[in-house]
Structure 1
Amino acid sequence: MTLSNDLMELKEDKIREKYKFAEAMLEGFDHTPRIAAKREPDRVEERSTGLGTRRRFRSTTPGLVTRSTARPEGVRLSERILESDEDVLTTPLQASVLRALRRALSVAQVASDQFAEQTGLDNLKRSNLSGTLDASQKVRFQDLLSASALIALHVFANMTDFLLSGLTVELGETDLQCGEVEEVLLDNDHLALHGALWELDQEIAAANVSTDAQLIGLITSFCEQLMEKVTLRADGKSALAPFSAARYRVEADDFEITGFTPAARARSTSLAMAFKKPEEVVGNHIAKYQAMKLSKMLMAYDFERKLNPFAELGGFIFTFMGDGKPGTGKTTLIQMMAGLINDYCHAAGYAFRYENLSTESIDSYQGKSAQNAKAFIRNVMEPNVIGFGTIDDIDQLAGKRGDRQSSAGQLEITAVLMESFAGANTVVRGNCTFGMFSNYPENVDDALRQRAGARFLVDGPQSREDYIDILHRLMGKNHSIPVGDHDLCEAHAIKKAVAASYDRHSRPQEDALLNVFDKVRERIGDLDTIAKLGAYLKAIQEADDRFTGRAIKNITDAIKVRAMDFELPDEWMENPELFLFRDYDTKKAMIADLAQPITVEMVIQEINRYADSEFRYADKSDEAAIENAVREMQRMEEAKRRFMEAKRP
């Protein structure tokens, strides 16, 4: 397999040179815990002579101390793992675990060494050992040591989880979880790994492990928690920039290191939702059509290049907002889109990950809501899966800045979503999309709402034909009532319905925007040049100052989507060899051949579609504010009346 240009290989000979170091760590070393307390088992079983004793039953409330006074104790992780099963002989899975740990420790050291060479940390270490380190370099030296420790810990946990995840799939899930990971030391990479192995040894010793499945489940649980802790510590550290910006690959294991992103073998989430077929979605023609297109767009993602041709050519929808009244079909749209992606991924053998950020993510502890939101984003954006993330009722989940009713947790979620959807470090690979849904989008923070690149108006059935179709579908088959003068689902000839929906936006739908549109046309004539279209955009901005440069970007992105106004053929999804399994450049060329030129009509329709939604939100928001003010005035008047009555003798 050839590496892409931005992928650097960690050499196999360098990794194997570290085997002796890794084996020595697994066989035994001394470590005095500094953050975590020693785990004590609830009881010790009596063992026959010659077999020794093993600690069982992990305590559920491990102690916390700021500085341990425990004596150094020998950490012999290899021995601990071999004792974790009743079988006297080493099992094949125990051997696999030890090999995975040795491999992960070796790769962690190579990655740490490469970082030291890139940043000059190796030279600073030599100067420090010789006593010639300049005082002005001490702060940088310590920062780089901490960064090196974080890299070693994350790569170790990441690769161990990656190598064991295949075994986890074979053995099945286990409910055995490790306690909270605490011994995260940042003095240097060696001490950091010692602390992690000591704590893993403690967890295995204190847990009631009786099978290989439980052993592997406990270790993967530990690795996932360690990665989460390290990622939080690494957030915002400038010294880590060289590592975070690079991508590394271990060819023999098909393992990639992409900053602090977990690289466990792509595992799908198990979905319990009831999927819907496209024909079960009545009305919502544009939203339905765009959801169907987007589902196929995601499948064009190239796992080797870690990029989607649509993201490079333009037209990929990374974030979208679906809004409409209650009962108009937002949940049905989610079920349809998730079902389509799930079926496509199943046919191609890709992992599909669906997650919803719910109100349960809001936590009263400071910073915890932000952690939950970051974990949601990280899981969906994982580059080895096809991801679909939804945020239902986002007006309840994400707080509106300046609104006194927004909790601290809601505002934390707003900040995370804004940074993740259009932040300085946001990377759109094209493997995932995020949908925000709301019955009251006017209550969503303006800046967050504008980070939705596309707008799906979920307005439910509209025409007479729509209502006949939905009634017939929901009635089921337990009747003999004739349909009458109507061709069922004739209006659902999707191209025809979408074309009619787009045509409606040749003129604005909102009265305030229609007034702007007519005045501009009276003044400058038909909007048939870039200059006239720009004048129309400026007039919209003068009518609503929330119509900023980000709005223009969203409109141009939507126009590019229209240029890609085609559905990838169904046979490309059903037979992956035709398209999905082709190389990146071939897929890109095949997509480019289907694109169509941008027209003036497309531009006007997309300007009106986007601006209509903003004017609709603004009208609702203003009306809600006026109603609240009126209620407050009425309350004050009533309070004054009662107060005056109470004062009367």
Structure 2
Amino acid sequence: MEHNSTFPIKLTELDMLRDEASSYLKSVQWEQGSRAKNKDKDAKDESILLYLSRANSGSSVDITSVSKTILALKKRLLPDSVALPIHLNQTLYAVQEGITLGIWIKDSYYDASGLSSLNENKSALDSNGKREFESKMHTATAFMLFSTAYKILNDLKPFASDDLSVMKQKFAGIPEVSLLSPLKGIACSLFYFDKYLGHPEIVKSDKDVIDFTVVYFEALIGEIQLRKSSLEYTETIEDRTYKLEKSEFAISGWNNVFSGTAKSIEFNKIKFEQIVGNRDAKHFARRLTERMLSYDFTAKKNPFQELGGLCPFLWATEFLVQEKVCL
């Protein structure tokens, strides 16, 4: 859908929401669902999924404090440091700013979609009104979480490692994502973010905190994208762009510019006759290249498998012509 309207995200309005965002970092409560508790229940004790499934320590509701976990990491990783190390500080600040912006986006959706009015008259809603209220609540929560994660990635990706493959191998996914309400959505996402940070195998250096945060919130965006098709009342999300004041940062619907990004590698072009090397080796390399190009994508095999590896390249060409295969 074409985005035909741009709305500014004013810094003064974000300032008014920052205390609320900070309060979530200080303390949120989340009760794990039964499916999350039972994930990987037969795995070994050192399994991260099993660790997450036991994150409530036997109690029904757990109080999570990301800010305290960050301070605990500082003591474990850099006990001699007086100030909070820069990578930990960057992460904590980025998550706070992401939540702040997410709250603003949620409030904007409330007003644009009519959810604010439904919420004010919730007790008087009929069955259709209640269904609309619940559907819009789910969509508001999803867009809030998406925007929060998107802002965090925007702020932290420039400082993350180029290669996150090791961290992604450690990461076992997010056991559950709640879209029931904005409060439950942020509580659930921060709960598992906090528990991962507290796992000794996830964070072994202060730089790992940034790397893991990027991996985690990339996964959160992925979870939201998977649920996007089931969401209703998304018109006021997909028809507009929100742009942060005095910044290039913008949110255009569900678009994710970080999806599939990778660093490209450019090779210098060189002709075969420019290669310096043993004559026999060069001959073998040319022949190998030619035979690799003879692969038949329809038959899903190379004709040299039947013709024999020592057959001239011309034989393969004739074979393909006879079989009416187009390379």
The one-letter code sitting in structure 2 at the alignment partner of 1:132 is: A
Q: Tell me the alpha carbon deviations over residues 225-280 of structure 1, each in whole angstroms, 9 at most, x when there is no partner.
A: 1111110101253422321232211134421112222244x996234574547x88
Is the Cα contact below 8 Å between 2:52 and 2:195 reproduced in 1?
A: no
Corresponding residue to 2:100 among 90, 95, 106? 106
Matched, 1:241 2:222: no
Alignment of 1:109-120 (within 5 A): 109-120=103-114
Q: CA deviation at 1:21?
A: 0.5
Aligned to 1:29: 28
Is the Cα contact below 8 Å between 1:255 and 1:263 reproduced in 2?
A: no
Structure 2 SS opposite 1:8 = strand
Is the Cα contact below 8 Å between 2:69 and 2:194 reproduced in 1?
A: yes
Matched, 1:59 2:48: yes
The gaps in structure 1 that reach 5 residues or longer are 44-56, 281-325, 332-391, 398-438, 440-619, 625-649
Corresponding residue to 2:175 among 170, 177, 182? 182
Q: CA deviation at 1:207?
A: 4.0
Structure 2 SS opposite 1:175 = helix
Corresponding residue to 1:198 among 181, 191, 202? 191
Is the Cα contact below 8 Å between 1:60 and 1:179 reproduced in 2?
A: yes
Say which structure, 1 or 2, has more relative contact order (CA 8 Å, 6+ apart): 2
The gaps in structure 2 that reach 5 residues or longer are 273-288, 303-320
The one-letter code sitting in structure 2 at the alignment partner of 1:191 is: K
Q: CA deviation at 1:172?
A: 6.6
Aligned to 2:124: 132
Alignment of 1:201-216 (within 5 A): 201-208=194-201, 209-216=203-210
Taking the aligned partners of 2:299 and 2:22, their CA distance within structure 1 comes to 52
Alignment of 1:68-87 (within 5 A): 70-85=59-74, 86-87=77-78
Matched, 1:7 2:6: yes
Q: Kindly tell me: are residues 226 and 71 of structure 1, through their superposed partners in 2, closer, same or farther at Cα, counting changes over 3 Å? A: same
The one-letter code sitting in structure 1 at the alignment partner of 2:61 is: P
Q: Kindly tell me: are residues 139 and 211 of structure 1, through their superposed partners in 2, closer, same or farther at Cα, counting changes over 3 Å? A: same
Structure with the greater alpha carbon radius of gyration: 1
Q: Tell me the alpha carbon deviations over residues 585-625 of structure 1, each in whole angstroms, 9 at most, x when there is no partner.
A: xxxxxxxxxxxxxxxxxxxxxxxxxxxxxxxxxxx9xx89x
The one-letter code sitting in structure 1 at the alignment partner of 2:9 is: L
Give the percent of matched residue pairs that are identical in Structure 1 and Structure 2. 15
The one-letter code sitting in structure 2 at the alignment partner of 1:81 is: I
Q: Tell me the alpha carbon deviations over residues 419-442 of structure 1, each in whole angstroms, 9 at most, x when there is no partner.
A: xxxxxxxxxxxxxxxxxxxx9xxx
Is the Cα contact below 8 Å between 2:9 and 2:243 reproduced in 1?
A: yes
Q: CA deviation at 1:110?
A: 0.7
Q: Kindly tell me: are residues 263 and 15 of structure 1, through their superposed partners in 2, closer, same or farther at Cα, counting changes over 3 Å? A: farther
Q: Superposition RMSD on alpha carbons, in Å?
A: 3.8
Q: Kindly tell me: are residues 143 and 250 of structure 1, through their superposed partners in 2, closer, same or farther at Cα, counting changes over 3 Å? A: same
Instruction: Number of aligned residue pairs: give it.
Output: 272
Aligned to 1:147: 139
Aligned to 2:150: 158
Q: Kindly tell me: are residues 115 and 275 of structure 1, through their superposed partners in 2, closer, same or farther at Cα, counting changes over 3 Å? A: farther
Structure 1 SS opposite 2:167 = coil
Q: Kindly tell me: are residues 64 and 198 of structure 1, through their superposed partners in 2, closer, same or farther at Cα, counting changes over 3 Å? A: closer
Alignment of 1:260-271 (within 5 A): 260-264=254-258, 269-271=262-264
The one-letter code sitting in structure 1 at the alignment partner of 2:25 is: L
Taking the aligned partners of 1:394 and 1:121, their CA distance within structure 2 comes to 53
Matched, 1:222 2:211: no
Q: Tell me the alpha carbon deviations over residues 309-365 of structure 1, each in whole angstroms, 9 at most, x when there is no partner.
A: xxxxxxxxxxxxxxxxx969999xxxxxxxxxxxxxxxxxxxxxxxxxxxxxxxxxx
The one-letter code sitting in structure 1 at the alignment partner of 2:60 is: R
Aligned to 1:323: none
Q: Kindly tell me: are residues 182 and 10 of structure 1, through their superposed partners in 2, closer, same or farther at Cα, counting changes over 3 Å? A: same
Q: Tell me the alpha carbon deviations over residues 537-556 of structure 1, each in whole angstroms, 9 at most, x when there is no partner.
A: xxxxxxxxxxxxxxxxxxxx
Aligned to 1:251: 245
Q: Tell me the alpha carbon deviations over residues 76-132 of structure 1, each in whole angstroms, 9 at most, x when there is no partner.
A: 10111122242244112211111111100010011111111111001111111xx11
- TM-score where L is the length of structure 1: 0.37
The one-letter code sitting in structure 2 at the alignment partner of 1:98 is: L
Aligned to 2:309: none
Q: CA deviation at 1:62?
A: 5.4
Q: CA deviation at 1:7?
A: 2.7
Q: CA deviation at 1:205?
A: 1.2
Taking the aligned partners of 1:141 and 1:115, their CA distance within structure 2 comes to 13
Taking the aligned partners of 1:8 and 1:59, their CA distance within structure 2 comes to 42
Taking the aligned partners of 2:129 and 2:299, their CA distance within structure 1 comes to 49
Taking the aligned partners of 2:210 and 2:229, their CA distance within structure 1 comes to 29
Taking the aligned partners of 2:299 and 2:221, their CA distance within structure 1 comes to 30
Q: CA deviation at 1:72?
A: 1.2
Is the Cα contact below 8 Å between 1:121 and 1:145 reproduced in 2?
A: yes
Q: CA deviation at 1:396?
A: 8.7
Q: CA deviation at 1:198?
A: 0.4
Q: CA deviation at 1:70?
A: 4.0
Q: Kindly tell me: are residues 142 and 37 of structure 1, through their superposed partners in 2, closer, same or farther at Cα, counting changes over 3 Å? A: same
Taking the aligned partners of 2:254 and 2:63, their CA distance within structure 1 comes to 31
Taking the aligned partners of 1:247 and 1:239, their CA distance within structure 2 comes to 16
Q: CA deviation at 1:141?
A: 1.0
Taking the aligned partners of 1:173 and 1:212, their CA distance within structure 2 comes to 15
Is the Cα contact below 8 Å between 1:8 and 1:247 reproduced in 2?
A: yes
Is the Cα contact below 8 Å between 2:30 and 2:188 reproduced in 1?
A: yes
Taking the aligned partners of 1:112 and 1:393, their CA distance within structure 2 comes to 53
Structure 2 SS opposite 1:71 = coil
Structure 1 SS opposite 2:24 = helix
Q: Kindly tell me: are residues 110 and 38 of structure 1, through their superposed partners in 2, closer, same or farther at Cα, counting changes over 3 Å? A: farther
The one-letter code sitting in structure 2 at the alignment partner of 1:158 is: Y
The one-letter code sitting in structure 1 at the alignment partner of 2:37 is: A
